[in-house]
Amino acid sequence: MPRKNPIWLVLLLGAVLGWSGCLFRSHKVPTLTTASNVRTATLQELVATLDNFDNAVKTLNATVDIDTSVGGAKKGKVTEYQEIRGYILMRKPEQLRMIGLFPVVRNRAFDMVSDAKGFKLSIPAKNKFIVGPPDVTTPSTNTLENLRPNVIYDALLLPGIDPKTDVAVLENQLETFTDAKTKNQMAFPTYVVDVIKRGPAGWYLYRKVVFSRVDLLPHHQMIYDKTGTMVTEATYDNVEEFNGIKFPTLIHIVRPLEEYTIDLHMVKLTLNEPLKDDQFALAQPAGSQLVNLNGQSAQKETPGGDGEKK
């Protein structure tokens, strides 16, 4: 028997569907309006933006208001904490200090410092002094005790592209949202710089940096671990200029695995002023409980020789 030509089946199906209105239906979809005031840039120009920002910021001294929430689908609820005042000191390559104050009384709620070797965290209300490696190895049931200074450090700064270990590629994307008044879908074109890093076990996705095509500034960053899991998401808004450097005054940090979020509202910000070593030194308070997360048992100690600037 002769084989049937598939084109005749297509034509026949089209004719049947065209004659029988009951075999199809149509419906309206929201209008998608795309922003027209967009700018263009090459991958090399976007990488240069990251590199220039990385080279421009050496130190940071900020007074901040800190909003924190804990919880999500895993916990079945979200707890929002009252906003507190805090201070952040940062000095490259990897030093950071962050202090949080209780509302009204302004006593220290926490004080933590970190460098490449590890971190120290003082929690006076619990009479605890926690030391450990830069990353969480044994998660605490208290979500906020899993906070590490390097999370804040990585979100505050947008590192440049290291040509020795990183490869950058470019994506074109659209970010959409619904206009509250018109109910129309609004679309804003973005550039996404994917940073692929070479690790001991091979290449892996390290970061995604999203640039708005309205101003060609980064406004979103996603950081991944070596398994390809997103561990930190940071959003940057309200960019202002400080000492000739454009810097966001509102940073929203999400840690999806631990289920906590931190909002940093810059009240006062100074970039590239000299910072001293003792501003990153944190001594253990006398009589506090030492909690060592490096595998040693907890014990009580008196402060060591570290100095602390008051």
At 175-204, the pLDDT tens digits run 887 767 777 777 889 999 999 998 888 899
37 confidence band (pLDDT: 50, 70, 90): confident
Q: What is the structure's pLDDT at 304? A: 39
Q: Which two tokens stand for residue 1?
A: 């028997």
Which residue did the predictor score with more confidence, 16 or 278? 278
pTM here is 0.79
Of 156, 234, 221, 231, nearest in space to 195 by CA = 221
pLDDT of residue 271 exceeding 80, the answer is: yes
Average pLDDT score, the chain: 84
pLDDT of residue 235 exceeding 80, the answer is: yes
Question: Per mean pLDDT, which of 11-25, 137-151, 171-185, 239-253 is the most reliable?
Answer: 239-253
117 confidence band (pLDDT: 50, 70, 90): confident
Of 103, 22, 72, 84, nearest in space to 261 by CA = 72
What is the C-alpha to C-alpha distance for residues 232 and 246, in angstroms, rounded to an integer? 22
Q: What is the structure's pLDDT at 49? A: 96
The answer to whether the beta carbons of residues 67 and 83 sit under 8 Å apart is yes
The answer to whether the beta carbons of residues 106 and 269 sit under 8 Å apart is no
Class of domain 43-300: mainly beta
pLDDT of residue 65 exceeding 70, the answer is: yes
What is the C-alpha to C-alpha distance for residues 135 and 139, in angstroms, rounded to an integer? 10
Which residue did the predictor score with more confidence, 103 or 43? 43
Domain definitions of the chain by residue range = 43-300
What is the C-alpha to C-alpha distance for residues 7 and 4, in angstroms, rounded to an integer? 9
Q: What is the structure's pLDDT at 31? A: 61
